[in-house]
């Protein structure tokens, strides 16, 4: 295991479309992602010790779902799951950042921001990013990322869906 210097620049950041053969890689990264959420939600692993992510197979079946891996210098650094259709308004034309994750060792180096920009630029149109209201660190990240991307001050809107409170960022990618 290498120890990264906090001052070291991140290197070459790439967002690549995940293939069906990479589904197990995404499943493993999703375990880390869901574990992070256990700080905010009552999530328990199953008898196999895994949290699981039931919708993952849909990313290779449904054409409106897009799985991505984020790499830095060809090493895994995170993932993004993007889909067409708003979770909040049910507007089918909106792009939704369904899940987004950067490994802890790669955070605070601009990697997540650059990856998000690449994804937004690759799919022009209206976008929504939802953040659990209790996840203030993620809210701060998205507020900065969306604001820098659009070049305008942004603020999120509080929404409630299925008993959960979210902060919603809505913006346009051209």
Domain count of the fold of the chain: 1
**Nearest Cα to 133, choosing from 102, 91, 84, 169?**
169
- Give the residue numbers spanning the domain of 161: 13-173
Highest mean pLDDT out of 86-90, 103-107, 116-120: 116-120
In a domain, 122, yes or no: yes
Q: Which helix (H) or strand (E) holds 37?
A: helix 23-37
State pTM to two decimals: 0.90
Q: What is the CATH number of the domain that holds 42?
A: 3.40.630.30
In a domain, 19, yes or no: yes
pLDDT band at 30 (very low <50, low <70, confident <90, very high): very high
In a domain, 20, yes or no: yes
Beta partners for residue 157, in sequence order: 168
In a domain, 109, yes or no: yes
pLDDT tens per residue, range 92-106: 999 999 999 999 999
Structure tokens at 41: 């939600």
Q: Residue 1: pLDDT above 60? A: no
């Amino acid at each position: 295991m290498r120890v990264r210097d906090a001052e070291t620049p991140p290197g070459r950041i790439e967002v690549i479309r995940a293939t069906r053969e990479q589904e197990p890689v995404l499943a493993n990264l999703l375990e880390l992602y869901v574990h992070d959420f256990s700080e905010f939600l009552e999530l328990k692993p199953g008898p196999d010790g895994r949290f699981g992510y039931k919708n993952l197979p849909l990313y290779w079946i449904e054409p409106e779902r897009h799985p991505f891996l984020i790499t830095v210098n060809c090493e895994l650094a995170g993932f993004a799951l993007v889909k067409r259709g708003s979770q909040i308004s049910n507007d089918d034309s909106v792009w939704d950042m369904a899940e987004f994750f950067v490994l802890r060792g790669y955070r605070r180096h601009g990697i997540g921001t650059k990856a998000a920009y690449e994804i937004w630029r690759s799919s022009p149109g209206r976008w929504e990013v939802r953040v659990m209201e209790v996840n203030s660190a993620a809210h701060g990240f998205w507020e900065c990322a969306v604001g820098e991307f659009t070049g305008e001050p942004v603020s999120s809107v509080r929404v409630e869906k299925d008993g959960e409170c979210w902060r919603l960022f809505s913006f346009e990618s051209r």
